[in-house]
Amino acid sequence: MNICLKPVDESNFLDVFQLKLGAGQEEYVSHPIRSLAQAYVYRAQCQPFAICAEERVVGYVMVIYDGDIPEYDIWHMMVDAAHQGQGIGRMALGQALDYIRQKPFGDASRVALTCNEANTAALTLYKSLGFALTGECDGDEVELALTL
């Protein structure tokens, strides 16, 4: 399967809005509508992407830069319920990390993300790609980080 990240723009934002989470996943990930509102607010330091498989939008991920730390963060990554379990999340996260390696918003070698501690599928994926728990928590969200 051919996976690519395409910046969210006027040609695909409605497709991103139509993405559906699996049953019970709403507590783990914000809907892309909320995330795209955040992307607008932070537009000088973030890039929202549609995850596409064979030109069809099947997921969403946003990369944001925090220059105060400095680090890159991965926000609101999700794969549509109908396309989960196919390795799309792994491929998309790899491409997001490739994008971050280009340092599009500034220099940083740390990439962080948070994950609900009950979301074992996502935790397994992140750890398999080299992310490690930092010990930081915010409620039921745990932080993981990777050094590039």
Q: Which of 5, 28, 24 is nearest to 113 (CA)?
A: 28
**Interior/surface letters 49-65, b for 16+ CB within 10 angstroms, e for the rest:** bbbbbeeebbbbbbbbb
pLDDT at residue 102, rounded to an integer: 97
DSSP code string of 8-64: --TTTHHHHHT--PPTTGGGTS--HHHHHHHHHHTTTSEEEEEEEETTEEEEEEEEE
pLDDT at residue 43, rounded to an integer: 93
pLDDT at residue 111, rounded to an integer: 98
Tokens standing for residue 48: 């929202």
pLDDT at residue 136, rounded to an integer: 95
pLDDT at residue 32, rounded to an integer: 84
Instruction: Render each residue's pLDDT in the chain as its tens digit; 148 residues.
Output: 899 999 999 999 999 999 998 777 777 887 788 889 999 999 999 999 999 998 899 999 999 999 999 999 999 899 999 999 999 999 999 999 999 999 999 999 999 999 999 999 899 999 999 999 999 999 899 999 999 9
Partners of 59 in the β-ladder: 51, 79
